[in-house]
């Protein structure tokens, strides 16, 4: 999750591109047997991205695809501060069924470098099998996977040692997740933190070592991507690869970090594309992020056409950057890349009733921009997650609020937060041609329009127990089939089409 105080400073200085025309205002302000009917049990079509004047994520039939879902960190290798509190909650069949019941068609599946390459050059095949099983379990419910190389504050091996004494203004730091111990090169820098996990001397030094490619650690991580891509090269249920979660700057300024981060991105893309060569292989989408402070790499960093800009949006959630302003900023950056935009993380973690109106504004703005979707952070947070503990010896809140509530201690599932209903609002999962407008109410109404050069099949997710009334222009063969959690609306469309779906009173 982003360090928003610093992001506000960066956004105040960054040069915008595209349609915004000025800086954004930042004033105060486990696999298992399924017991329910999945949305789709058929084989998922492969996806790819297009760049240009009308960028989009599209399927094998050329339909524009929106990917909406959640983050899942059950496979993450997190620091464990309290041996009685596991840092992740295991995923099982009921979890996947519940995701499908809420209309999700994607999961951002967190994986850890420390588990993938525990020693230099040795890939853990058992961990790769866990990733395969998770992808297969999601696919069986009609859900794509985005494989996310996750890290927070570099890794779990930068925790302050027991008994460390910190200077005034600094406190001992908890460990997090990401890099293996052998790739954590800090030269003995201090681990004490001044309130921001990303700003300890040790974290900054580790990032400096990565960007300098000391001991070849950047090359190692790029090669890990090559191995993952080789393993999943024939799997259409993998939407793509998120190259690195929330990269830090190290000691680089905004311009320098653009260069060194782009170097890592290019090496990883090259490793992925090389691994995907061969019979029946797919060229999977590459998702890439700005830095943790919102600085994007240059728009010319790659000529690869199969890429998606994937920022994180915590406007008015962590900090007070305006929701609409942050969306406009990110949309302008995506326009500079001429690529689709997909929000890899967003969400609220406090009083659901107070935050529901903010979520509604987020949803309305997202729809108006015709983004390629998003994933909520996160499915369920464990009592022993570093986010829950906060500092060495810390204790979690009694109730953790994410997509679901989690009761501590004991990781008792409190169920999906009903106030987050806008997350599973109606949306077109696959649309012939290109969408030209989208408006989806949190309580059920859906309006959309699109333009197709040839006849094709439109597919819409619609939540709830009451069959919607569907009307529109240039529609034929309209159907609404009941699936777990709602309805799958289908129709043949051609030319300039429009759809109105309304729940009956």
**Contact indicator for 330, 309 with CB cutoff of 8 Å:** yes
φ, ψ of residue 450 in degrees (nearest 5) = -155, 175
Question: pLDDT digits over 415-449, tens only?
Answer: 999 999 999 999 999 999 999 999 998 988 999 99
Taking 3-state DSSP, the helix, strand and coil percentages for the chain, each rounded to the nearest 5, stand at 30, 25, 45
Q: How far apart are the first and last CA of the chain?
A: 40
Strand partners of residue 182: none
CB-CB neighbours of 25 under 10 Å: 14
Question: Minimal CA–CA distance to 149: which of 227, 201, 233, 69?
Answer: 227
**pLDDT at position 1, please?**
58
| CATH architecture under which domain 4-427 falls | Alpha-Beta Barrel (3.20)
Dihedral sign (CA 248, 252, 254, 257): negative
pLDDT at 505: 59
Percent of the chain with pLDDT over 90: 89
Burial of 441 (0-12, 13-18, 19+ CB in 10 A): middle
Please check the confidence at residue 43 and state whether its pLDDT lies above 90: no
pLDDT of 466-482, one tens digit each? Answer: 999 999 999 999 999 99
Q: Which one, of 322, 307, 314, 343, lies nearest residue 70 by Cα?
A: 343
- Residue ranges of the domains in the chain? 4-427
pLDDT on residue 230: 97
Q: Name the band, by pLDDT with cuts 50, 70 and 90, for residue 40.
A: very low
Residue 258's alpha-carbon distances to 13, 173, 261, in angstroms, are 15, 28, 5
pLDDT in tens, 109-122: 999 999 999 999 99
- Look-up of token digits 């469309």: 493
The three-point CA angle 235-310-433 to 5° equals: 70
Span 189-215, average pLDDT? 95
pLDDT at residue 8 in the model = 53
Q: For the residues 294-304, what does the mean pLDDT come to?
A: 97
pLDDT(282) > 70: yes
φ and ψ of 116, to 5 deg: -70, -40
Strands 47-50 and 56-59: antiparallel
Q: In what order do the strands lie in the sheet with 343-346?
A: 307-309, 285-288, 238-242, 144-149, 106-111, 67-72, 373-376, 343-346, 312-313
Reported as a pLDDT band with limits 50, 70 and 90, residue 503 is confident
Tokens of 123: 């890939």
Average pLDDT, the chain: 92
Please report the pLDDT score of residue 30 as a whole number. Answer: 32
Q: Are 484 and 37 in contact (CB under 8 A)?
A: yes
């Amino acid at each position: 999750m982003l360090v928003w105080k610093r992001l506000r400073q960066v956004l105040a200085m960054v040069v915008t591109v595209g349609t915004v025309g000025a800086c954004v205002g930042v004033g105060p302000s486990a696999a298992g047997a399924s017991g329910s009917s999945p949305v789709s049990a058929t084989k998922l079509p492969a996806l790819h991205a297009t760049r240009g004047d009308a960028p989009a994520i599209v399927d094998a039939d050329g339909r524009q695809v929106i990917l909406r879902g959640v983050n899942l960190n059950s496979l993450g290798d997190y620091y464990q501060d309290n041996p009685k509190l596991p840092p992740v909650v295991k995923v099982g069949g009921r979890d996947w069924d519940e995701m499908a019941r809420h209309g999700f068609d994607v999961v951002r599946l967190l994986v850890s470098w420390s588990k993938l390459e525990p020693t230099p050059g040795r890939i853990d095949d058992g961990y790769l099998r866990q990733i395969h099983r998770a992808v297969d379990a999601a696919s069986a419910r009609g859900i794509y996977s985005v494989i996310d190389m996750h890290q927070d504050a570099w890794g779990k091996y930068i925790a302050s040692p027991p008994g460390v004494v910190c200077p005034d203004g600094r406190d001992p730091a908890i460990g997090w997740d990401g890099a293996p111990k052998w790739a954590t090169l800090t030269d003995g820098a201090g681990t004490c933190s001044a309130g921001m996990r990303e700003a300890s001397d040790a974290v900054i030094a580790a990032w400096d070592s990565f960007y300098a490619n000391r001991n070849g650690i950047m090359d190692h991580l790029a090669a890990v991507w090559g191995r993952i891509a080789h393993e999943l090269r024939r799997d259409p249920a993998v939407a793509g690869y998120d190259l690195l979660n929330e990269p830090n700057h190290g000691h680089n300024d905004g311009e320098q970090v653009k260069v060194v981060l782009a170097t890592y991105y290019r090496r990883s893309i090259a490793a992925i594309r090389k691994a995907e060569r061969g019979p029946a292989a797919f060229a999977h989408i590459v998702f890439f992020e700005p830095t943790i402070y919102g600085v994007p790499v240059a728009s010319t960093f790659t000529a690869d056409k199969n890429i998606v800009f994937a920022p994180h949006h915590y406007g008015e959630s962590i900090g007070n950057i305006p929701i609409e302003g942050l969306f406009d900023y990110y949309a302008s950056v995506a326009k500079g890349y001429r690529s689709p935009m997909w929000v890899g993380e967003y969400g609220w973690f406090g009083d659901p009733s107070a935050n529901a109106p903010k979520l509604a504004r987020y949803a309305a703005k997202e729809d108006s921009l015709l983004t390629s979707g998003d994933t909520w952070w996160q499915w369920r947070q464990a009592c022993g997650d570093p986010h829950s503990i906060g500092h060495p010896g810390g204790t979690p809140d009694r109730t953790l609020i994410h997509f679901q509530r989690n009761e501590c201690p004991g990781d008792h599932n409190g169920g999906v937060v009903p106030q987050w209903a806008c997350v599973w609002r109606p949306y077109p999962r696959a649309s012939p041609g290109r969408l030209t407008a989208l408006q989806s109410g949190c309580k059920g109404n859906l309006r959309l329009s699109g333009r197709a050069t040839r006849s094709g099949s439109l597919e819409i997710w619609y939540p709830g127990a009451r069959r919607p009334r569907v009307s529109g222009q240039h529609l034929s063969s309209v159907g609404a089939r009941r699936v777990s959690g709602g309805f799958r609306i289908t129709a043949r469309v051609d030319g300039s089409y429009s759809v109105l779906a309304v729940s009956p009173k």
